[in-house]
Structure 1
Amino acid sequence: MMRALAFDKFLPDPKPFIKEVPIPTPGPGEVLVKMEAAPINPSDLNWMKGVYGIKAELPAIGGFEGAGTIIETGPGLFTSFLKGRRVSCIAAPGKSGTWAEYMVTKSHYCTKLKDHFSFEQGATFFINPMTAQMFTEKISAGKHKAAIQTAAASSLGKMMVKWGERTKFPIINIVRRPEQVEMLKNLGSMYILNSTSPTFKEELSDLCKILQPTIAFDAVSGELTGVIMNAMPDNSIHYVYGALSGQDISGINTRGLYFGNKLLGGLWLTSWMQKKTPFELKLAIGAVQRNFGHTFNSEITGRFPLNKYGEAIKTFKSNTSSGKVILYPSQII
């Protein structure tokens, strides 16, 4: 048996609980990972609320990503070579999550963790860094010269800030608090706007005229999406990948869409990864590995044993721009 952080109801305020369940057995092409560290992400809580793109089959074990050691493998041509490997991993749909002492997942949902990285660092390899990689591929494929991002003070947002500064690619970074402006200045960002400022719309319009950003990555949605789209130049595309505002998109100038040839689209990491061939996915993971630990790295703001999950979730909710909160599934204090 093993301990896991499970949930059996979809609630606006998730109520997970510690549960003892049988240790899963890996099937063909699968591996059993002894979990050492797993972060709390917004997508984890949305899944527990029942508002994520993949519906959980209740009861379910939470956690989408983490790191640990492969201790058992199922039948497969290459899986037996993976036993004993330290890995970053993501949960497979329909399987157990990472907030547990052990997790079964597909072997190709694991990537080797380099020796100089800790389990804690490796636990945050997939969701934010791979999303940043997805963004940079979209920028490159569209030959865009500048971009806009919302939620720029988040862990993902700060990765894009560092990538933009390293590659000299201009990004207009939108935050919502003065202290977040200072935070991004300290990272070297040149273009930072506070969406709560009374002059925000004018400042955004002026920067769009100067930098001509033709791609946007939006985690907020709501009225802010309309404000950004209206300010962007013709022939631009605005990707929505989150809804932190809790609101539907509003305020878009409809005539600006068709006269300006502007596009509004959705972007979801899971779908993006599923559309890639195994070779393309391997290339993307390799690109993340080259940036991991410096450009695509996450700060840690809290560390908790599994049974302190209530305190961990509370810390996560109150410090979303400070860094990651990590659960240690094998620790019970």
Structure 2
Amino acid sequence: MSVETQGLQLRTLIKRSGELELSLVDVPTPEPGPDEVVVRIEAAPINPSDLGLLVGAADLSTLQASGTKARPVITAKVPEAGMRAMAGRLDESLPIGNEGAGTVVKTGSSEAAKALMGRTVAAIGGAMYSQYRCLKISECLPLPAGTTAAEGAS
């Protein structure tokens, strides 16, 4: 089974200028360590904590779309009153998504990792709004046969 060496990841950025930017970026897919697996993420829920990181204190009535169909960019204004609460994340592009589920497409060398090859797993570990995630096997929960990623995502 061929695995992409990079995939798209949704990122959120609040600029010092008071603008939220949501974008898709290419990120490398790391080689899994002995007790790690690469999961092709197929489903990820939106939790309240995801929303807080995703849009922060932005005024959603100011949303604007730009970019291309393949690489859209969404922007919104962050009111001055909300900027103080965003101080710890200014000008830092952050990945989003606390949990998700998908198929293990590559494994590390341990027997426990190899046992997950081809399995659908639920996973925690952040950055789940991604095409691929390299995760520790302890962050993965193998799902019963026949369970879809959407069913196991949260």
State the TM bucket, normalised to the shorter chain: 0.5 to 0.7
Please state if 1:121 is matched with 2:151: yes
Do the aligned residues in 1 keep the contact of 2:116 with 2:142 (CA within 8 Å)?
A: no
Equivalent pairs counted in the alignment come to: 117
Cα offset for 1:25?
A: 2.4
1:30-49 paired onto structure 2 within 5 Å: 30-48=36-54, 49=56
Aligned partner (choices 5, 9, 25) of residue 4 of structure 1? 9
Cα offset for 1:40?
A: 1.0
Q: Secondary structure at the match of 2:104?
A: strand
Aligned partner (choices 56, 65, 68) of residue 99 of structure 2? 65
Please state if 1:98 is matched with 2:128: yes
Please state if 1:20 is matched with 2:26: yes
Superposed CA deviations along residues 219-263 of structure 1, whole A, max 9, x for unmatched, are xxxxxxxxxxxxxxxxxxxxxxxxxxxxxxxxxxxxxxxxxxxxx
After superposition, the CA RMSD in angstroms is 3.0
Which has the larger share of helix?
1
Cα offset for 1:85?
A: 0.9
Cα offset for 1:42?
A: 0.8
The answer for the alignment partner of 2:115 in structure 1 is 81
The answer for the alignment partner of 1:188 in structure 2 is none
Q: CA, structure 1 residues 40+108, in 2 after alignment: closer, same or farther (shift >3 Å)? A: same
* Structure 1 residue ranges without an equivalent (≥5): 125-333
Which has the larger share of strand?
2
Cα offset for 1:71?
A: 0.8
Counterpart-to-counterpart distance in 1, 2:7 and 2:153: 20
Identity of aligned residues (%): 34
Q: CA, structure 1 residues 119+31, in 2 after alignment: closer, same or farther (shift >3 Å)? A: same
Q: What stretches of structure 1 move > 4 A for 4+ residues in a row?
A: 10-14
Q: Does 1 or 2 have the higher relative contact order (CA < 8 Å, sep 6+)? A: 2
Superposed CA deviations along residues 144-165 of structure 1, whole A, max 9, x for unmatched, are xxxxxxxxxxxxxxxxxxxxxx
Cα offset for 1:82?
A: 1.2
Counterpart-to-counterpart distance in 2, 1:115 and 1:5: 29
1:130-149 paired onto structure 2 within 5 Å: none
Cα offset for 1:99?
A: 0.6
Superposed CA deviations along residues 6-33 of structure 1, whole A, max 9, x for unmatched, are 1233799853211122223222422110
The answer for the alignment partner of 1:111 in structure 2 is 141
Q: CA, structure 1 residues 38+29, in 2 after alignment: closer, same or farther (shift >3 Å)? A: same
Q: CA, structure 1 residues 14+8, in 2 after alignment: closer, same or farther (shift >3 Å)? A: closer
Counterpart-to-counterpart distance in 1, 2:135 and 2:14: 23
* Structure 2 residue ranges without an equivalent (≥5): 1-5, 58-84
Q: Secondary structure at the match of 1:79?
A: helix
